[in-house]
Structure 1
Amino acid sequence: MKKEFRSGCPISSTLDIVGDKWSLLIIRDMLIKHKKTFKEISDSDESIAPSILSARLKLLESFKLISKTKIPENKKENIYLLTEKGIRLTPIIIEFSLWGDTNMREFNEIKNIEGLNLDKSYVIKTVEDRYNSMLLNFQ
């Protein structure tokens, strides 16, 4: 996959990878909901089309935010796991959640997310620790 960026600006470069409508939602589902398979990720509330999901997974894999492997018990099915680089997006996911919770309620019936009212650094650490724990249990 060709890696083209609009500019050398770090914000612009980041948006070229995770700034579309879907990438952060895929990472959210993997990070917070521990979704690992194509089917699990495609079953999200936002109803991502299979072709778009496939393209985003390939993009995220090409930039080493996720890795793809086979399920040990089922060599036909791929599983997707966040890499350390992908896990480091946790603060961005939490910030988006906090911002949306505070600023979008008047426009949308936003679900209450347990724990968002806690200290932000605690929430970030907890999400990262839970994902890393899931990785350890999976391997």
Structure 2
Amino acid sequence: MENICGLDVALSVIGGKWKPLVLFYLNGGPRRFGELKRLVAGISEKVLIQHLRELAEDGVLVRHDYQEVPPRVDYEMTEFGHTLAQALIPLCEWGNANRRHVEQVSAKKDVA
């Protein structure tokens, strides 16, 4: 039977806790590594490096190394990456609309 839902494809690219947030912050334009580290609160440097590398390998973003001293590197979404970011907007809206409900359910689980 043919798989009619492309979630498996999308999740293979954005799977994990942090990649959608990295894409969210890159959707507004190029960002330097340190800026992304501050924006994606809670991500470790190692995981951010790994995710940026994977997203670049998947063609979602491009890494610009300006070959300067001190080093200057930034990351920018590709056209392909922008299509993925656009697909995440409804999920972002769903999260905003349901944040209170999810927090209440999580609080109940923590008490139990």
Q: 1:58 maps to which residue?
A: 53
Q: 2:15 aligns with which of 15, 19, 43?
A: 19
TM-score normalised to structure 2 length? 0.76
1:30-80 deviation line (CA, Å, top 9, x unaligned): 113x45111000002522100000000000000110001124876722110
Deviations 1:83-132 (A, max 9, x none): 00101123223112210111122344xxxxxxxxxxxxxxxxxxxxxxxx
Q: Is 2:82 the counterpart of 1:92?
A: no
Structure 1 gap ranges (5+): 1-6, 109-139
Say what the alpha-carbon RMSD is for the aligned residues: 2.5
Select between 57-66 and 94-103 the one with higher mean Cα deviation. 94-103
CA distance in 1, matches of 2:58, 2:70: 24
Unaligned stretches of 5+ in structure 2? 104-112
SS at match of 1:80: strand
Distance (Å, rounded) in 2 between the aligned partners of 1:103 and 1:69: 37
Map residues 1-139 of structure 1 onto 2, 5 A cutoff: 10-32=6-28, 34=29, 36-71=31-66, 76-108=71-103
Q: So what's the TM-score if we normalise by structure 1?
A: 0.63
Answer with 1 or 2: which has the greater Rg.
2
Structure that is richer in helix per residue = 2
C-alpha spacing 1:66/1:45, structure 2 compared with 1 (3 Å):
closer
In structure 2, what is the Cα distance between the partners aligned to 1:66 and 1:76? 19
Contact preservation (8 Å) 2:18, 2:40: no
